[in-house]
Amino acid sequence: MSKLNLSADEVLMTTRAVRKRLDFDRSVEPALLRECLDIALQAPSGSNSQGWHFMLVTEQSLIDTIAAYYREAFAAYEASEAQPLKQHLDDPSMAPTQARVLNSAQYLAANLHRIPALLIPCMQGRADTPGLPASVIAGMFGSIIPATWSFMLAARERGLGTCWTTLHLNYEREIAALLGIPDEYSQVAMIPIAYTQGTHFSPAPRKALGDCLHLNKWHNNGAG
């Protein structure tokens, strides 16, 4: 697959959480995934620790088992009154978008077993260690999330769709045992990967910058 030749701004503005437009019937070349991961390794990490590890899952029997855990976790998530996908539904300007996101999340959960590849980024250490300082936890996540996002951006440029998911972490220990991930490593996310149906994606609707920007003091709104 040749590159899409998007500009840096286009890649950043159009790397979507892709669910319904994933092409489940097209395989993804292992060399292409390795190419994206090579790019991911150029991301910064705390103290140049490079403590990241990437579990790439392409074996169908393993994907089937992980997908079953994900469906169980999604069912519990969907049934919870506190689940984040229900936020904004009382906002007329956001409700249609949020309803589409919920629908696409349901679609992914129902079809995850069809995905050609899953990427599980892992970091050295356990963020749930009692008494671990917030600065250490922030450094741990700050050393794996940029690399994973770099992978997702590289995938977008190559016609691949990705989506950041975390519900499998409800069964992190079971999946670690399934994949042989050592106890001293934390799984951070699970990224479904497939070619996209079509390659054009638009910027998503977002709240205005002034709603989240604060200048020097929290109460100083940056709208102006």
Question: How many residues make up the chain in this entry?
Answer: 224
Q: Which two tokens stand for residue 52?
A: 């990241």
pTM of the model: 0.92
Residue-range domains of the chain with CATH? 8-199 (3.40.109.10)
pLDDT in tens, 137-194: 999 999 999 999 999 999 999 999 999 999 999 999 999 999 999 999 999 999 999 9
Q: Which two tokens stand for residue 96?
A: 């249609």
Q: How far apart are CA 205 and CA 215, in angstroms?
A: 24
Evaluate whether 143 touches 49 at the Cβ level (below 8 Å). yes
pLDDT band at 223 (very low <50, low <70, confident <90, very high): low
pLDDT of residue 33: 98
pLDDT of residue 1: 58
pLDDT in tens, 21-73: 999 999 999 999 999 999 999 999 989 899 999 999 999 999 999 999 999 99
pLDDT of residue 133: 96
